[in-house]
Amino acid sequence: MGLLAGISSPADLRRLKPQQLPALAAEIRDFLVHNVSRTGGHLGPNLGVVELTLALHRVFESPKDTFVFDTGHQSYVHKLLTGRQDFSALRKQGGLSGYPSRTESEHDVVENSHASTALSWADGIARANQVRGFDDRHVIAVIGDGALTGGMAWEALNNIAESEDRRVIIVVNDNGRSYSPTIGGLAHHLDTLRTTRGYEQFLGWGKRTLSRSGAPGRFAFQALHGLKKGLKDVVMPQGMFEDLGIKYIGPVDGHDEAAMERALQRARDFGAPVIVHAITEKGRGYTPAEQDVADRFHAVGRIHPETGLPVAPSRFGWTSVFADEIVRIGRRRPDVVAITAAMLHPVGLAPFAAEFPERTFDVGIAEQHAATSAAGMAFAGLHPVVAVYATFLNRAFDQVLMDVALHKAGVTFVLDRAGLTGDDGASHNGMWDMAMLRIVPGLRLAAPRDEPTLRAALRTAVDVDDAPTVVRYPKGALVDDIPAVTELDGVDVIARHEGPDGARRVLVVGIGSMAGTALATGEALAAHGLAVTVASPTWVLPVPAALVKLAGEADLVVTLEDGVVDGGIGSMLAQRSAEQGITTPQVHRGIPLQFLDHATRDQIAAATRLTAADATRDALAALTPR
């Protein structure tokens, strides 16, 4: 029985003696490495916040005091200290979420996995505490330096700074990285803070120098005053925060638990907004993570804990195909540039950046800026390719609509992890993009089903210079190629089952990664004596006229998509069919309009009736007797 096993609440932690805390920190790191290596999860960020989280829970009293983590992938230590030590099913159906979760604990407030939002949450909670007269409660936002590159964080800082008595403590967990090294002016500012020798040290040097110079008293005083004024901006760049009206404490060694406690106690007792700047090391205490420069340990699958190597090598995936094809495109098209929002490696742009560094732009966690900056680049003669996870394009919808589409800008958005992603939970399923983007005038969207169609879609997309294009693909390993048996005006037919004479005709449409499910559905329906055509159009927005024509030739249409079914591609097909006077009944299968708990893709598909068996049953039920 170690120290960790004896902690079921933060109160238990506060009863420990300070000299016991290093041993507890070592236990926690050992726990994280051995458990996350079995399940997969966010390892590096949590190894880096062990002492910081211990100090937080010893100084503040959760849940009376509110903790908000930005992003929530650095909350594993918080889970351990609040009574959640069964990590055996982490990020699996029925197990712990990989992010804070209100359904798990009263100590969790925000399922915060879209970055740069914690400060707004903290501001809102603190305002409410003031209005309700709770003047003994604090709100603590833990935000990474990477998340501070997002504009929403600065909107919140602007508002937090206006109050002189709002009890908000902002802990900047500064490890110099988000997924990749943090970039931009803020990163340089924090670098200065990390490396500064200290204002008082410089001032002492100035006093000694003037004293030895023998300068007259009045001159020495004036020189010293000028020295102080000049040095303040050089060696006290925390003034950027203090000029906003927010007290600054730091930099503090985030791995010195006692120093962190002292800094947090000062912040708590100040009674007004305070920034505590903690310097931490991502992956601290785990040699493979400490030595890794590509940040492979930010999030891991199952690994060998001794070496950090994967238990099973990853199969060649969708992202790798994009990574290879965009480099090929870049070689023949010098006007193509790449934009990433702090995710160069996860979205597959690292090879492009290696070959074309001057044509690769990491804008930080700032999807809105990425989209509008891309519009500006398009205006100036380039063709930008903006690569993000599908779920994060939600944040830039206004910019896609009003800056890109309105101005007919030739910008390509590549959406990784579209559809069901599963284990990261509700916020990471890329299920909104097709229903959301269908209303953008002029936008064209491709949902390739395999490697050849993905490569072809990318080549087509970058050739469009007068409208936004979108190419979406799922998370994970590639499927086997699904060749077309015929092509009808841009719509691929991937299977035909003729059926007996007089058989009723069914059109099954598989969008993107649902093509395989559509094939299985077609086979099952054919076994019931139906004539089935299975189609898988690569370009689905706008709805192809040939697909509408096929719908008019069928007795029933079944659509399958891994996006929200309400307002999705199926409903668009029904609308276009009705406009043509086509009355063929249609069955649309997709993701219901609800947030989905973390589970595997197959488990979610089964729970949402998005399997071939479900589609077959629905189709047979819809075929009313003649």
Which structure tokens are listed for 406?
A: 């309105």
pLDDT at 227: 46
Residue 449 and residue 591 in one domain? no
CA atoms within 13 A on the CB side of 8: 1
Q: Is residue 553 part of a domain?
A: yes
**448, 513 contact by CB (below 8 A):** no
pLDDT in tens, 31-46: 999 888 888 888 888 8
CA dist list (Å): 434 to 142, 162, 568: 33, 40, 6
Please indicate if the annotation marks 34 as binding a ligand: no
Q: Which parts of the chain register pLDDT below 70?
A: 1, 177-243, 293-295, 312-315, 625-626
Which structure tokens are listed for 148?
A: 């501070």
Q: Is residue 478 part of a domain?
A: no
Residue 133 and residue 20 in one domain? yes
**60/352 Cα distance (integer angstroms):** 46
Domain with 579 in it: what CATH number? 3.40.50.920
Please indicate if the annotation marks 114 as binding a ligand: yes
Residue 65 and residue 135 in one domain? yes
Q: Is residue 312 part of a domain?
A: no
pLDDT at 1: 56
Q: Is residue 298 part of a domain?
A: no
Q: Domain count of the chain?
A: 4
Please indicate if the annotation marks 135 as binding a ligand: no
Handedness of CA 86, 310, 290, 365 (dihedral sign): negative
**309/349 Cα distance (integer angstroms):** 22
**67, 109 contact by CB (below 8 A):** yes
CA angle 398/445/418 to nearest 5° reads 80
Residue 439 and residue 508 in one domain? no
Q: Is residue 313 part of a domain?
A: no
Residue 229 and residue 178 in one domain? no
CA atoms within 13 A on the CB side of 60: 33
Output phi, psi for 40, to 5 deg: 85, 160
Residue 427 and residue 513 in one domain? no
The pTM score is 0.83
Residue 491 and residue 452 in one domain? no
Residue 282 and residue 371 in one domain? no
Largest CA distance in the chain: 112
**343/358 Cα distance (integer angstroms):** 17
Please indicate if the annotation marks 286 as binding a ligand: yes
Please indicate if the annotation marks 146 as binding a ligand: yes
pLDDT at 233: 43
Please indicate if the annotation marks 211 as binding a ligand: no
CA angle 77/83/86 to nearest 5° reads 80
Chain centre distance of CA 181: 16
Please indicate if the annotation marks 367 as binding a ligand: yes
Please indicate if the annotation marks 158 as binding a ligand: no
Residue 156 and residue 171 in one domain? yes
Q: Is residue 558 part of a domain?
A: yes
Handedness of CA 254, 256, 257, 259 (dihedral sign): negative
Domain with 29 in it: what CATH number? 3.40.50.970
**418/343 Cα distance (integer angstroms):** 16
**548/438 Cα distance (integer angstroms):** 16
Question: Strand, helix or coil at 124?
Answer: helix
Residue 40 and residue 155 in one domain? yes
Any residues with CB less than 8 A from the CB of 466 and at least 6 apart, and which?
408, 410, 442
pLDDT in tens, 240-253: 566 677 888 988 99
Residue numbers annotated as active site: 282, 367, 395
DSSP strand pairing (412-416 vs 469-472): parallel
Structural domain span for residue 525: 486-622
Q: Is residue 502 part of a domain?
A: yes
Residue 172 and residue 223 in one domain? no
Which of 472, 505, 523 is the endpoint of a domain?
Answer: 472
Instruction: Name the nearest CA neighbour of 321 among 457, 431, 430.
Output: 457
Residue 110 and residue 179 in one domain? yes
**26/313 Cα distance (integer angstroms):** 29
Which structure tokens are listed for 7?
A: 């902690």
Instruction: Name the nearest CA neighbour of 561 among 507, 510, 612, 615.
Output: 510
pLDDT at 241: 66
Question: Strand, helix or coil at 552?
Answer: helix
